[in-house]
Structure 1
Amino acid sequence: MIKLKNNTLGNGMPAIAVSFSNNCSVEEIKALKKQGLDIAEIRVDLFTGKIFAKNIIEELQKFGDLDVPTILTFRPKREGGNWGGSDAERVVIIAECYQYADIVDIETSSIHSLDCSEKFCQLANAILKSETQLLLSYHNFEKTPSLVAINHEIESAEVLLSAKADIVKVACQVDSNADRWF
């Protein structure tokens, strides 16, 4: 089970997560909370305008002030996101903001990246030592690899981290029943 603010996930009840960019009003958040919003995913890669840590922190605090747990996600284009900048820029921005989020989503591809692997590993380990939880995500938009291959991807990232993530998320392309693991 995962405890986030006043919510416990993994206790047999579904949780509703909604993705947000910037400029969501407090009134909109309150209305969504009344409709069952459990977790807000703050998609930094979908922000309009220039991205500054200050703006991200303001968005995270807006949800936190209303007792809505947050996932900080800053997805690069190679992972289906909208961020076209460098991983070096992205890791610096996440490092400035992670302590304001309940969960930070970092991709296995970022842990394995040639140009920023060490920086992402340092960031992930700092997150693991903090009160923020690390969500390690694996994406494959072409196919559903074998469970063995996916486990290898996750485990090899965790070896680089010298630690296990708090949460692991896997999202793959499913084209037919043949893509099922059971």
Structure 2
Amino acid sequence: AALGADLAELRLDRLAGFAPRRDLPALLAKPRTLPALVTYRPKWEGGEYEGDDEPRFEALQLAMELGAEYVDIELKVADKFIKFMSGKKPENCKLIVSSHNYDNTPSAEELASLLAQIQATGADIVKIATTATEIVDVSRMFQILVHCQEKQVPIIGLVMNDRGFISRVLCPKFGGYLTFGSLEKGKESAPSQPTAADLINVYNIRQIGPDTKVFGIIGNPVGHSKSPILHNEAFRSVGLNAVYVPFLVDDLAKFLSTYSSPDFAGFSCTIPHKEAAVRCCDEVDPIARVISSSLLLLLHSLDC
């Protein structure tokens, strides 16, 4: 992880045969090349741990005592964990209180209420992870990130699966505290998590900020496209403050009306949305209109 990451998340629940008293001193031994974020996720929140809370709490408290810079605890048991600690959290350790929704992304009002619940626990950092049923869901997470940035509330806000992929790349633009990348493909800790190498080398995530313009390719499917590799390298070579991402879109008109701000500066469009794109345009180049008509005539003739 030290080859590119700013910190390393240690997912204790994914370590086979993990024994806290034996393993944590080795994992957190200093000097370390990176700060550590320690997570011990239970099964009921998408993790692998199936035991009682108390042994898990003991392991997280031990991680704090051994110098972990961050510890993640779930909202459902946050008050219980804080009571368990009895005020013994070291000053140099930040407590992340997290909520994971593997079904959908709630409304803006529900997200705001969830944010307030997490803040009320005394969390140093808020974490909200939801699931996209369509790509427009991500816009609500962006709104929460911007709101928290204005209020100076540190927040990790991510939307899982392929339709939420853009949240993982664009979080620094909208004020997210951090994003997650796996060390390699096949080692993801959440659906559609990119590799750290792709975040750094393909999407130039270290250069993304509030003024970065967003471009991308609209399609369904779209994950196979090489366009982000090509365009992001082109942006880098000419020094353009921009990023190019894949947009997995189901309803083009809804997508375009949602992502209509100047921050979203331009789109390429591939199958199956090309004809819908023509219908969504205010103006269509005459050559493009002729090409579209010719294509439709050819398709009709093939149907016959």
TM-score of Structure 1 vs Structure 2, range by shorter chain: 0.5 to 0.7
1:135 paired to 2:74: no
Moved more, 132-141 or 146-155: 146-155
Shift in Å at residue 85 of structure 1? 0.7
The 1:125–1:79 alpha-carbon spacing in structure 2 relative to 1, beyond 3 Å, is farther
DSSP 3-state at the match of 1:65: coil
Question: What letter matches 2:48 in structure 1?
Answer: N
Q: Which residue number in structure 1 is paired with residue 131 of structure 2?
A: 173
Of structures 1 and 2, the larger Rg is shown by: 2
| 2:20 pairs with 1:52 | yes
Query: In the alignment, which residue of structure 1 is the partner of 2:227?
Result: none
Determine whether 1:96 maps to 2:45: no
Deviation at 1:134, TM superposition (A): 0.9
Aligned pairs for 1:40-119 (under 5 A) are: 40-61=8-29, 64-99=30-65, 100-111=67-78, 117-119=79-81
How many residue pairs get aligned? The number is 139
Higher RCO by CA contacts (8 Å cutoff, separation 6 or greater) = 1
Q: What is the one-letter code of the residue matched to 2:43?
A: K
Distance in 2 of aligned mates of 1:151 and 1:93: 31
Matching residue's letter, 1:134: L
C-alpha contact (below 8 Å) 1:45/1:74 kept by paired residues: yes
Q: Which runs of 5+ in 1 are unaligned?
A: 1-31, 112-116
Contact 2:39 2:72 in 1 (8 A): yes
Counterparts in 2 of 1:152 and 1:54: CA distance versus 1, 3 Å: farther
Q: Residues 7-26 of structure 1 correspond to what in structure 2 (within 5 A)?
A: none
Q: Helix, strand or coil for the counterpart of 2:64?
A: helix
Task: Map 1:138-153; keep pairs closer than 5 Å.
Answer: 138-153=99-114
Structure 1 residues 67 and 124, CA, compared in 2 at 3 Å: closer, same or farther?
farther
Question: What is residue 37 of structure 1 aligned with on the other side?
Answer: 5
Inter-CA distance 65–85: structure 2 relative to 1 (3 Å threshold): same
Cα RMSD over matched residues? 2.2
For the Cα contact (< 8 Å) 1:71–1:104, is it kept in 2? yes
Which residue number corresponds to residue 288 of structure 2?
Answer: none
1:66-111 superposed Cα distances (whole Å, 9 cap, x missing partner): 3311101000011111101111221122122213200011111222
Give, as a single letter, the amino acid of the residue that structure 2 aligns with 1:71: L
1:52 Cα deviation from its structure 2 partner? 2.2
Q: CA deviation at 1:122?
A: 4.2
* SS of 1:88 mapped into structure 2: helix
CA contact (8 A) 1:53 1:97 kept: no
Distance apart, 1:175 and its partner CA: 1.6
Deviation at 1:39, TM superposition (A): 0.8
| TM-score, normalised by the number of residues in structure 2 | 0.42
Q: 1:153 to 1:123 in 2, by over 3 A?
A: farther
